């Protein structure tokens, strides 16, 4: 088994364990909005099983999304283990779930951006229509009819019959349009806000390594009177944790704790490897 294949299995197994633990903790606690929270975890599980069963979706970006979601799952688990069942706990849990949901949706978008069946290593550029169709059906079944692959939508609009081998040939221009199609479809045009409306916007923010990127105030909610917070193009890779929201001090401390444990684990692995 290659190192890449091992990394995929470790990432999927790690997230599955976290989600199973979180699911059990949620069902055993008296939590406001318990049903909605459990549904969110169930959706995350569906995404994990989809990736596990569809190897063509196990791209580098998708695996990174799995690892990132696990980090936020660890924060969620820590919160559930330290609850005291008061209003402050409920507010903090709600914030953590909002971030978790955001990262779960980001993972779904990474899945939709996968290009199963696309071959661009040699001329001409081709797409295996059958691979796209079968994968798209699996994605829609697991994530919903509106969450199909972007490449499937592109081919549908291209409206070109495959050749005798089941392949659809793309020109260089069409291949370029495919990338543009992702952007225009994934990020719909913004609507202008009315004058006097208070807003905050964050675009194209990047976090990597073991960093913690918080794009909002910590502890004191300085955005309490803000009418709209908009985030687009937020990307976190490797083991980075990224928050596009205001967070409580408890969430911040849990994020630091998770990253400290990860750094210690990575150092131990590196030390053992060298010896």
Beta carbons of 243 and 205 less than 8 angstroms apart: no
Per DSSP, the three-state class of 102 is helix
Q: What is the pLDDT of residue 163?
A: 94
Percent of the chain with pLDDT over 90: 39
Per-residue pLDDT tens for 148-186? 999 999 999 999 999 999 999 999 899 888 877 765 555
Sign of the C-alpha dihedral computed for residues 99, 69, 33 and 42 taken in this order: positive
Per the confidence metrics, is the pTM higher than 0.75?
no
State the pLDDT at residue 183: 59
Of 130-134, 218-222, 261-265, least confident by mean pLDDT is 218-222
Residue with tokens 């990474």: 110
Tell me what percent of the chain is helix, strand and coil, each rounded to the nearest 5.
60, 10, 30
Range ranked top by mean pLDDT from 28-37, 110-119, 130-139, 214-223: 130-139
> Higher confidence at residue 66 or residue 232?
66
Contacts of 43 (CB under 8 A, 6+ apart): 104, 143
Q: Rounded CA gap, 117 and 215, in Å?
A: 37
| pLDDT computed for residue 188 by the predictor | 47
């Amino acid at each position: 088994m290659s190192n890449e294949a091992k990394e995929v299995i470790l990432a999927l197994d790690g997230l599955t364990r976290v989600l199973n633990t979180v699911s059990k903790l949620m069902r055993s606690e008296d939590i406001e909005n318990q049903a909605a929270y459990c549904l969110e975890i169930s959706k995350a599980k569906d995404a994990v099983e989809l990736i596990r069963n569809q190897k063509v979706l196990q791209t580098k970006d998708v695996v990174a999304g799995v690892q990132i979601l696990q980090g936020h799952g660890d924060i969620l688990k820590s919160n559930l283990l330290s609850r005291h069942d008061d209003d402050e706990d409920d507010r903090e849990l709600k914030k953590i779930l909002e971030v978790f949901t955001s990262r779960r949706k980001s993972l779904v978008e990474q899945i939709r951006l996968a290009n199963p069946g696309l071959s661009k290593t040699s001329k001409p550029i081709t797409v295996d229509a059958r691979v796209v169709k079968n994968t798209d059906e699996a994605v829609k079944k697991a994530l919903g009819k509106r969450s199909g692959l972007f490449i499937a939508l592109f081919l549908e609009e291209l409206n070109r019959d495959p050749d005798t081998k089941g392949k659809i040939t793309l020109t260089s221009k069409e291949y370029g349009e495919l990338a543009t199609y992702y952007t225009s479809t994934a990020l719909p045009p913004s609507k202008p806000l009315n004058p006097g409306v208070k807003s905050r916007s964050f675009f194209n923010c990047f976090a990597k390594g073991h960093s913690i990127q918080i794009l909002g105030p910590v502890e004191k909610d300085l955005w309490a009177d803000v009418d709209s917070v908009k985030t687009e193009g937020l990307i976190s890779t490797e083991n980075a944790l990224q928050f596009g929201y205001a967070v409580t001090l408890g969430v911040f401390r849990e994020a630091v704790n998770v990253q400290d444990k990860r750094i210690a684990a990575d150092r131990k692995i590196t030390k053992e490897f060298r010896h």
